[in-house]
A and B are shown apart, each in its own frame.
Chain A
Amino acid sequence: QLQLQQSGPGLVKPSETLSLTCTVSGDSINSNSYYWGWVRQAPGKGLEWIGSIFYSGSTYYNPSLKSRVSISVDTSKNQFSLKLSSVTAADAALYFCATRGYLTGRLAHWGQGTLVTVSS
């Protein structure tokens, strides 16, 4: 049973970089069945896809965030990570890691969520 466990700070200062990590258990991050991705929900808003990475290292980002987003994989730790630079109050949200099916697009597995506050 694939499971995702998120870690990372819940408080980030304005203009700094948000960093979150998602540890995969129950499957290998080298699996070609999934894209490993991030989704967020700002207060009072809907779900927003941030970006995804394939085990090969290929990345795919939401065009609205592309200039500030970086997603990477650490195969030695079976983890993938999100970095979002130059954060503002608009980036305050509940962040989730998730698996995106390679062929079907379904987000079948989710992390527990990390509430990120942007404040000095």
Chain B
Amino acid sequence: DAGITQSPRHKVTETGTPVTLRCHQTENHRYMYWYRQDPGHGLRLIHYSYGVKDTDKGEVSDGYSVSRSKTEDFLLTLESATSSQTSVYFCAISTREQETQYFGPGTRLLVL
């Protein structure tokens, strides 16, 4: 399995609070991705990064921001969590844009 960890693995928070999810990789892959998975929607891309300090939006980026200050870490922040952001969040990595993506174990987030 690719060396990808996500933290926390589970989180319960209240509406309006900030939340940061962390993805950490030991593979030195250039590309990192954040997806969310919801019933009936499959996986949807939130943001991705193509290098340190280089990020771009995916299809469902509203309400989320990301940062990548080191190759190994990609942070996803919900500035003010809403109940619609209750989901399972997956991080993925790849060596190049067109190469195979490998996924982390996921973070289950519940926003009350």
Q: Do A and B bind?
A: no
Interface residues of B (CB under 8 A from A): none
